[in-house]
């Protein structure tokens, strides 16, 4: 089935006073050809997660970690946003100032589609930061590093590491995310399985308020927290999102 610009029979109505919180996960990026974080065999692009996505993995073999994220950078640069990314950017433009996007993804496909009011709670692939947290600014970085001699140094002398939230580290922008959940009237979750916390708890936070938000899930498989949603819309986000919103 091809996406159309017509309003879907499963349409989500957005009124003039509604505020929309959107959470996206690996599923939306997978539709652009990017590898999901964890395959069925427990590996990420052929690597054990512990070796490339933990502080311990970085301490043990920073060269391997940089090679891994350098390859992710090359793959992301070769990929393109899909209709789901574009539909969310178009919705943001239509309801100017009333949509907030939080993504678990580290790629830049949302930005390339035009999304602006957003945060990457798990970091950004095309940024690097000081491993020593010396206070130096996070830098834009689209380079690929494949050996220890290439790994750049901070002004303080420490190595720069990928600006990625690894297992055991605290997600970014949590106070702002909580604030946006507290004031949204619609929560839209796209392509995330409801496994990784704290993101898996967002729908419960929004539904436990005195005035619960309407919560919708879009994805090819029902999430583990499916019972918390107002409605589950099964299917690929690139097919479901275009035409889904009825902006009043």
Three-state SS for the chain is CCCCCCCCCCCEEECCCCCEEEEECHHHHHCCCCCCCCCCCCEECCEEHHHHCCHHHHHHCHHHHHHHHHHHHHHHHCCCCCHHHHHHHHHHHHCCCCEEEEECCCCCHHHHHCCCCEEECCEEEEEEEECCCCCCCCEECCCCCCCCCCCCECCCCCEEEEEECCCCCCCCCHHHHHHHHHHCCEEEEECCCCCCCCHHHHHHHHHCCCCCCEEEEEECCCCCCHHHCCEEEECCHHHHCCCCEEEC
Catalytic entry in 110, 120, 122, 163: 122
17 is catalytic: no
- Residues tagged active-site: 122
């Amino acid at each position: 089935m091809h996406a159309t610009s017509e309003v879907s029979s499963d349409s989500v109505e957005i009124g003039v006073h509604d505020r929309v919180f959107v959470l996206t996960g690996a599923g939306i990026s997978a539709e652009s050809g990017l590898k999901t974080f964890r395959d069925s065999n427990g590996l990420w692009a052929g690597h054990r997660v512990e070796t490339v996505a933990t502080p311990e993995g970085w301490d043990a073999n920073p060269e391997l970690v940089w090679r891994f994220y350098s390859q992710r950078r090359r793959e992301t640069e070769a990929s393109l946003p899909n209709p789901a990314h574009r539909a969310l950017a178009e919705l943001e433009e239509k309801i100017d100032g009333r949509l907030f996007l939080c993504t678990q993804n580290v790629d830049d496909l949302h930005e390339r589609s035009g999304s602006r009011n957003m945060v990457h709670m798990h970091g950004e692939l095309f940024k690097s930061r000081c491993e020593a947290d010396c206070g130096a600014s996070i830098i834009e970085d689209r380079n690929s590093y494949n050996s220890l001699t290439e790994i750049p140094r901070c002004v303080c002398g420490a190595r720069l590491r990928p600006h990625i939230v690894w297992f055991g580290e605290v997600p970014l922008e949590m106070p702002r995310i909580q604030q946006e959940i507290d004031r949204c009237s619609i929560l839209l979750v796209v392509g995330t399985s409801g496994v990784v916390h704290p993101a898996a708890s967002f729908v419960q936070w929004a539904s436990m308020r005195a005035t619960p938000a309407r919560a919708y899930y879009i994805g090819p498989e029902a999430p583990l927290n499916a019972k918390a949603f107002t409605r589950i819309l099964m299917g690929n986000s690139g097919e479901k999102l275009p035409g889904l919103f009825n902006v009043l």
